[in-house]
Amino acid sequence: MKTIKKKHLFAQLLFSTFGALLFSQTLIGCGNTAPSSRSALTAEQFSRSRWDAVIEQANGGEINFAMWSGDEARNRYYQNTVAAKVKQQYGVTLRFLPTNDVADIVNKLLNEKGAGKTSGGTIDLVWINGENFRTAKQGGVLWGPFAEALPNIKHFAEDARQRDFGTLVEGYEAPYQRAQFVIAYDTARAPDPPRSIEKLREWIKTHPGRFTYLAPPDFTGSAFIRHILLFYLKRDSTGGAFDGKFDEQRYQRAAAATVAYLNEIKPHLWRKGETYPTSPKEADRLFANSEIDFTMSYGPSFASEHIARGEYPPTTRTFVFGEGTIGNYSYLAVPFNASNPAGALVVINHLMSPPHSLDQGRALGSLFPLLPDGLTTEERAAVVALPLGPATLPAAELAKHQLSEPDAQYLERLEKDWREKVLKQ
């Protein structure tokens, strides 16, 4: 009898603790759900406002930023340095929502729009680009237009402001970071890497099992096959020079050549091309563990960062194709139901500023995204003096070999064709 009493006393204690916690959490939970009481700035109001009025409205507010959080160094930099700066300069509190894939966020917004939740949204700022931007814009889940009215927009190149992967931006997102596709290799294992697409084909055949690419729809894998498509699109002189716009006939011809290329190298790939890695982490693992000799990324400093963290061998370097590699921009956008658009705009403008870009370049090795024209002499000197990691190519070298993204329709069609004609064979 005694043992039962003790047992049930303990259980009662446990349950009452649960109950107390439940009660308190309900209270706290209720407290947390109250959105900011100030009314959210509308796009229409913004178009009529002066910038300092926006800054004033943002002061004292809080914004939630859905930023890809898979990188420690980046998280640390943003949560400490950037947040402090923004708080000090504008009085805005910057909070972060850990995000794995911006597609999840876009989905959430689409669902919210479908259910009529047009205000009081929990996300104020999104880091976005490419197909996700297209989906979001088509789904009508972005606030705006706003980008062309931001003071710092003048620092960005025209083509970045006009189109994102061929989709018209129309002011619904603001350019913010630049990236360029680079290929990493280990000088200890492959001292003389193939620096063109045709040389790559030869190299793969003479080194069976040492190369692979990520399976689309992964971002990087999709970029790799796009390079091959672009290669054939530009060589195709029928109908004049290639201008980046989508053309069915051009696509058919180039795609046929691309598919032929990919199928030709397939049996000589890692695992005989029967499977492909599906995430960058997996490709990193294969590269670091000597299963493959090359890996790729859109971040020019990615290899240096990996070396610094001990994840890649210190003999790793990067290169770009002689024909050039694709460069693109990533953007910042505001969800249609953001609670604090004014705060978001202020932060966006700050992240587009020369001081921030320089600082981020120093802290994270990010490629400097701004045009030199709008910079002061000191700023221009600072850009030149930005430190490069051991495996990072200098900005001038990258710029010399930069290609623009072709229309997003090429990407979609190619991904489908890759699945049907290369993967499933």
Partner 1 sequence: MKNPTPTKVLEALAIIAITGLTATPLALLAARSLAQSWYWPSLTPQVWSVRAWKYVFSPTADVLPALATSLSVAMVVTLFAVIVALPAARVLAWEEFRAKRAVIFALLLPVLTPPLAATMGVHALFLRYGLTDTLIGVALSHLTLTVPYATLMLTGSFSRLDPDYEAQARTLGAKTIDVWRSVTFPAIAPGLAVAASFAFLISWSQYLTTLLIGGARIVTLPLTLVAFQWGRR
Partner 2 sequence: MLLNFTVRRWLMLAPALAVIGVLFAGGLALAAAQSLGYFAPTGENALTLRHYVSLVDDREIYASLWLTLKLATAATMISAVAGSALALGLREVARRSRTINLLLQIPLSVPHLAMAGALITVIAPSGLLARGAYALGFIQQPADFPAFINDRYGAGIVLSYVLKEAPFIALMTLALLARLGDEYEQAARVLGASAWQRFRHVTLPLVAPAVVSSSLMVFAFIFGAFEVPFILGRPFPAMLSVVAQQRYLDVNLAVRPGAIALAVVSALVTAALAWAYMRLTRALIGLERPFVL
In the list partner 2, partner 1, none, the entry touching 68 (Cβ below 5 to 8 angstroms by class) is partner 1
Region of 239 on the Ramachandran plot (φ > 0 left; ψ -120 to 50 alpha; else beta): left
Among 100, 196, 252, 290, binds partner 2 (CB under 8 A): 290
Q: Is 79 in the site for partner 1 (CB under 8 A)?
A: yes
Q: What gap in Å lies between CA 163 and CA 254, rounded to an integer?
A: 23
In the list partner 1, partner 2, none, the entry touching 69 (Cβ below 5 to 8 angstroms by class) is partner 1
**Nearer to partner 2 (CB atom), residue 98 or residue 387:** 98
From the list 70, 81, 136, the residue with the least C-alpha distance to 103 is 136
Q: What gap in Å lies between CA 57 and CA 340, rounded to an integer?
A: 9
In the list partner 1, partner 2, none, the entry touching 18 (Cβ below 5 to 8 angstroms by class) is partner 1
**Nearer to partner 2 (CB atom), residue 108 or residue 201:** 108
Among 112, 124, 131, 164, binds partner 2 (CB under 8 A): 131
Q: Under rule CB under 8 A, how many of the chain's residues touch partner 2? A: 32
Q: Is 219 in the site for partner 1 (CB under 8 A)?
A: yes
Cβ-based neighbours of 422, under 8 Å, separated by 6 or more: 259, 262, 263, 266
Q: Is 215 in the site for partner 2 (CB under 8 A)?
A: yes
In the list partner 1, partner 2, none, the entry touching 323 (Cβ below 5 to 8 angstroms by class) is none
Nearest-Å Rg of the Cα atoms of the chain is: 25
In the list partner 1, partner 2, none, the entry touching 153 (Cβ below 5 to 8 angstroms by class) is none
Per CB under 8 A, the segment of 30-38, 85-93, 284-292, 399-407 that binds partner 2 is: 284-292
CA distances from 79 to 13, 62, 270 (A): 40, 14, 39
SS3 190: coil
CB < 8 Å & 24+ apart, contacts of 117-120: 117/337, 118/336, 118/337, 119/40, 119/337, 119/339, 120/35, 120/337, 120/339
- Which residues in 261-320 contact partner 1 (CB under 8 A)? 279-281, 288-291, 298, 309-311, 313
Q: How far is the CB of 276 from partner 2 (least distance, A)?
A: 6
Distance of CA 307 to the CA centre of its chain: 21
Q: How far is the CB of 330 from partner 1 (least distance, A)?
A: 8
Q: Is 424 in the site for partner 2 (CB under 8 A)?
A: yes
CA distances from 411 to 29, 113, 246, 255, 328 (A): 44, 27, 10, 11, 14
CA distances from 188 to 191, 293, 302, 393 (A): 6, 10, 19, 18
CA distances from 389 to 108, 379, 401 (A): 37, 20, 19
Q: How far is the CB of 15 from partner 2 (least distance, A)?
A: 17
Residues in the chain, total: 425
**Nearer to partner 2 (CB atom), residue 291 or residue 323:** 291
Q: Is 96 in the site for partner 1 (CB under 8 A)?
A: yes
SS3 184: strand
Q: How far is the CB of 240 from partner 1 (least distance, A)?
A: 34
- Contacting positions for partner 1 (CB under 8 A): 4, 7-8, 11, 15, 18-19, 21-22, 25-26, 28-30, 32-33, 64, 66, 68-72, 75-76, 79-80, 95-102, 104, 107-108, 111-112, 114-117, 121-123, 218-219, 279-281, 288-291, 298, 309-311, 313
- Contacting positions for partner 2 (CB under 8 A): 101, 103-104, 107, 110, 114, 131-132, 134-135, 138-139, 209, 215, 217, 270-271, 274-276, 278-279, 282, 285-286, 289-291, 412, 419, 423-424
